[in-house]
Structure 1
Amino acid sequence: MNIKTHIFIIALIVTALSACKKDDDVDVVVVPPRDRGEQQIKDDALLQDYLKTHFYTLEDVYVNGDNTVEYRTVKLDTIAGDNSDKPSIMDSGLVTTKKITKGDVEYTLYVLGLRTGEGSQKPTFADSTLVTYKGQLPYKNGDKIFDSALNPVWFDLTSVVDGFREALVDFKGASGVSKYNEDGTVTYNDDFGELVVFIPSGLAYFSEARTSIPAYSSLIFNVQLYKVNEADHDRDGIPSYLEDLDGDGMLVMDVDDNTDGDGFVNYLDTDDDGDGILTKNEITVKDLNQDGFITLDEITFYDDNGNGIKNHLDKDDRDSKNK
């Protein structure tokens, strides 16, 4: 290294130290997140006021360029002027509440249930759902739509906000398909689940801002639920909802659902106990009624050493049942 290089490096160090000194002279204000309990009180008051001062109407949605109505979307509007005689959402007789405790705070979801759905299954908190939806912010003078899908999309319920998931698990999809369209899409029977859920920020993104969604925003989702697929994320034969060992309805990054402590929670781990035998080979699964949904009574678990721990969760039991 020549002397010019030494001088250049020294100059860089001096510049860096000088920059750090300037930063030290600046007062940086760090705003802590709001108290969740206090924010919930504000959010609940806002949502209740919205439900009392707004009404809804249903509008037909055409997707395939034909005369078939694919579904109805909900339009929300203020009770005022020519609409002063409209009954409020709260007085519609279709609004139910659902209490959700997260941390030490009890939250309230408000759900406008338009139709529960005639499908065979409700989704669990871990399943995949086929939906159309519209997401908007509850502003008094015109709601701001931040996201929507006119054509059905699949949503993994482990990856959505809590309020969306908690509302959807109480509804069913359609009873079947009524039409196969030329573009490869399908039209479902007109008996799918329909709802609008009003979500406080604590069951949404809370202090985290998103594109078009400010921090501490309550959210509104209008959802049409067409189909439910039972999820087995790691394809080990055990549906993901049954790998929630502590029964808290949470799977993502839940250390209490990680038997072998390997960094992969059980619903994403093909070898739950880390004994070298795949989980799917330590159980026996039979879909007895051929409905595509595996229930607890359709799985045979083993405990070869009789210690009260199922083989697939016990490193000391390594007998493969499916050779």
Structure 2
Amino acid sequence: MNKFKYYFILLITTVSLFSCSKDDAAEITPPREFAVQYKTDLTDIEEYLKTYYITVVNHAGFQDDQDVTFTKIAAGGTQPSIYSYLNSPTYPKLLSRPVKLHDITYTLYYLVLREGTGASPSNVDGVLAAYKGDYLSRQKVAEVETLTATFFEELRDPQQFFNLTTTITGWGETFPEFKTGTYSSKDDGTVSYKDFGAGVMFIPSGLGYYNLGSNSIPAYAPLVFSFKLYEINRLDSDGDGIMNFQEDIDGDNYMRVFATGVANPDDTDGDGIPNYLDTDDDGDGVSTRTEITGTNGVLIPFEFIPSCDGNTTNPDRVKRHLVKCN
């Protein structure tokens, strides 16, 4: 009798747990269509550009140099909107570039406060950058829906480089449009940066966190990042002895992974692996690292790698690791 009572109670408990689990299970909602969400994002971004103005700090050599504040234009206000700088011949200038992803073409707006005077990173380099981030959302106040910008994060004194291959897509698509500046060390050990590239990127959610969100950033939120580009960390992703940016054959600072069979300007042997990830760029069965190692076992610097004709002085030569020599 006691054994029967035990099994009866166990059966009831199991059924109860199963019922609770089934009733409380979270409903999985499939992500929105990228094209549909992008239309909403673009509407929000362009409204923000047309209804906000900026105030920029010019304070060379100090941390607040090129700090930017965004303020909504009040009714009847005469401040120039961010959108009024579209394709301006002088700074600040609002520019845009197409980004093909998710079977659609995004328009990525970015505001150039200052281009910078040094070198530009490629989209597969590391960057040392200060930034401040806001996300856009629509909220109802007194039954009136308004577009608002909400702060979520700021880094004023960066100590580490961000690898652009692991950040959100919008960063990798924007930083190559800017340049670094100069820097010097102060007596107190801090570093002073000057003439660096500074700007603002306006990122649709499809080039950001999309349906996943991140910490306090909600899903499907367009992002606004003001930033300052201080330094570049050149990377060698495939470890072949050639820096990523040196494997950018068409020189546009953008290297991508395309499907096999699709023409890629930065894939010499057409094997579907871009050169910056390909340990055998020319497809000859010999690793690039082996081909650029001297008889002394030391890697030959990129600028001294001979072309097919053996010439190392012609700046326009085709490097041996980029094309197969017949």
TM-score, length-scaled by structure 1: 0.71
CA contact (8 A) 1:192 1:226 kept: yes
1:235 aligns with 2:255: no
Q: Measure how far apart 1:14 and its partner are.
A: 8.3
What is the CA deviation profile of residues 169-190 of structure 1, one whole-angstrom value per residue up to 9, with x for unaligned ones? 111111x32x31234332123x
Cα distance in 2, alignment partners of residues 287 and 26 from structure 1: 60
- Equivalent residue for 2:66? 72
Cα distance in 2, alignment partners of residues 187 and 199 from structure 1: 29
- Equivalent residue for 1:163? 170
Cα distance in 2, alignment partners of residues 236 and 201 from structure 1: 35
- The answer to which of 134-143 and 295-304 deviates more is 295-304
- Equivalent residue for 2:229? 225
CA contact (8 A) 1:193 1:226 kept: yes
CA contact (8 A) 1:98 1:109 kept: yes
Cα distance in 2, alignment partners of residues 297 and 15 from structure 1: 77
Structure 2 gap ranges (5+):
138-145, 261-266, 294-299, 305-314
CA contact (8 A) 1:122 1:173 kept: yes
Q: Measure how far apart 1:159 and its partner are.
A: 1.0
Cα distance in 1, alignment partners of residues 36 and 111 from structure 2: 25
Cα distance in 2, alignment partners of residues 187 and 20 from structure 1: 62
Percent identity of paired positions between Structure 1 and Structure 2: 34
What is the CA deviation profile of residues 246-271 of structure 1, one whole-angstrom value per residue up to 9, with x for unaligned ones? x98345xx8859x9x9xx99857878
Cα distance in 1, alignment partners of residues 64 and 43 from structure 2: 35
Cα distance in 2, alignment partners of residues 46 and 221 from structure 1: 15
Structure 1 gap ranges (5+):
290-294, 309-323
Q: Measure how far apart 1:27 and its partner are.
A: 7.3
Report the secondary structure of 1:40's partner residue: helix
- Equivalent residue for 1:319? none
CA contact (8 A) 2:281 2:321 kept: no
Paired residue type of 2:80? P
Aligned ranges 1:295-314 → 2 under 5 Å: 299-301=319-321
Aligned ranges 1:121-270 → 2 under 5 Å: 121-138=119-136, 143-152=149-158, 153-174=160-181, 176-177=182-183, 179-189=184-194, 191-240=195-244, 249-250=255-256
Cα distance in 1, alignment partners of residues 221 and 57 from structure 2: 26
CA contact (8 A) 1:54 1:77 kept: yes
CA contact (8 A) 1:287 1:298 kept: no
Give the number of equivalent residue pairs: 279
Q: Measure how far apart 1:114 and its partner are.
A: 1.0
Quickly say closer, same or farther: Cα 1:97–1:267, change in 2 above 3 A: closer
- Equivalent residue for 1:89? 82
Q: Measure how far apart 1:142 and its partner are.
A: 5.7
Quickly say closer, same or farther: Cα 1:136–1:208, change in 2 above 3 A: same
What is the CA deviation profile of residues 179-215 of structure 1, one whole-angstrom value per residue up to 9, with x for unaligned ones? 31234332123x2111101111011011012111000
Cα distance in 2, alignment partners of residues 25 and 195 from structure 1: 49
Cα distance in 2, alignment partners of residues 17 and 42 from structure 1: 45
Paired residue type of 2:152? F
- Equivalent residue for 1:20? 18
Quickly say closer, same or farther: Cα 1:25–1:52, change in 2 above 3 A: closer
Q: Measure how far apart 1:301 and its partner are.
A: 2.7
CA contact (8 A) 2:120 2:177 kept: yes
Cα distance in 2, alignment partners of residues 73 and 16 from structure 1: 60
Q: Measure how far apart 1:300 and its partner are.
A: 2.9
Report the secondary structure of 1:169's partner residue: helix
Quickly say closer, same or farther: Cα 1:116–1:26, change in 2 above 3 A: closer
CA contact (8 A) 1:77 1:142 kept: no
What is the CA deviation profile of residues 257-295 of structure 1, one whole-angstrom value per residue up to 9, with x for unaligned ones? 9x9x9xx9985787899x998642233542438xxxxx9
Quickly say closer, same or farther: Cα 1:183–1:96, change in 2 above 3 A: same
Quickly say closer, same or farther: Cα 1:108–1:141, change in 2 above 3 A: closer
Paired residue type of 1:147? E
Cα distance in 1, alignment partners of residues 209 and 166 from structure 2: 12
- Equivalent residue for 2:312? none
Report the secondary structure of 2:108's partner residue: strand
Q: Measure how far apart 1:296 and its partner are.
A: 9.6
